[in-house]
A = this chain, B = another copy of it.
Amino acid sequence: MDSGVKKPGVTSSQVARHAGVSQSAVSRTFTPGASISPKTRAKVMAAAEELGYRPNAIARSLITNRSRIIAVVMAYLENLFYPDVLEELGRLLLKENYRLLLFTGFMDRDSDPVFDQLMQYRVDGIVLASTSLSSELSEECAAAGIPVVLFNRTTERDAVSSVTTRNREGGRRVAEFLIAGGHKRFGYISGLQSSSTNRDRFGGYSEGLAEAGYTEIMLEVGNYDRAEAEAAARKMLSRPDRPDALFVANDHMAVAVMDVARHELGLSIPEDLSIVGYDDVGPARWTSYGITSMSQPLGPMVEATVGILMDQIASGEIEAQHCVLNGELVVRTSARLPKSGVVEVDGRRIYQPAQS
């Protein structure tokens, strides 16, 4: 029974008058768990329906001191991993009856005004999923008593909650895989060098290689940026002693690297060059690329993120929690296969060496 046009600006008092009850009764009707008799509730509902009343979330926020808004900060969305995260976050937050205030499309140094906005809107929680944002921002928010979760990154001091995957182990797994594949010359195209994910991935990778006696790694910087990754690939792969195994810090860059290798330099993948990426994001699965990639379990990561936020909001405690999840090395066609260790699980091929 829709009464057509919903005029905004219908207040609870108007509904109250129309229903012949007090404003409190109206409020209680729309407050789950409030003390209200079925009879008045019905009266109120009828009047509300008739007038097209909707509780004003702004006014409610003012008094409850809860906005039911979670801020999500993502400097850029070019890497499909982040839109995927965003979509899942939207889904889960909606289910928890929270809204998602998105901050994106700004340069990283502009983060100060962003911080101001966060504070002004009294958001109930913050998800920081920008690899490149200053750590100060996060700590400042946490200090202000707002639950913050770093998504896919950490800071040195772990004063603020985070959700990550075992990047170090991931890097090491990539090394093992490439070594088992019989590769001899190793390269790495890095992400933002200041980011924790990049440091850990590279750390694990070089550790793994070093243990097998490979101490030299050709290094170029891609800064998680497509254009820079292309340039890095051009430079590294046109060297006479170019690597035969290349770990790229994420799939977003790996795609670009593959295009350069194949179409600009005429290399065959994986015959001339094996490439391994990170994230296992959409394009990695497309047959044209088929990137062998360390996966990050997006669903569980988002679930953990929302879980931590809800937890901290409910308890009022903002003690830092750190959730570290496991990824898998999903094997596709962009890298030569080792003789053993590749197993099929749930229709996906995974590299799982015997010892683990």
Contact = CB atoms under 8 A, between A and B. Distances in A.
A56 B259 CA distance: 49
Nearest to A145: B8
Interface in A101-154: 101-106, 113, 116-117, 119-122, 140, 143-146
Give how many copies assemble into the complex.
Answer: 2
A78 B281 CA distance: 11
Contacts of A57: 117, 120-122
A57 B5 CA distance: 28
A144 B5 contact: yes
A102 B70 CA distance: 11
Contacts of A88: 105
A146 B99 contact: no
A11 B54 CA distance: 28
A7 interface: yes
A72 B77 CA distance: 15
A345 B77 CA distance: 28
Given A83-B77, A289-B288, A54 B116 contact: yes
A94 interface: yes
Please name the 7 residue pairs, one residue from A and one from B, whose CB atoms are nearest each other, closest first. A90-B105, A91-B105, A77-B83, A90-B104, A57-B120, A83-B83, A87-B105
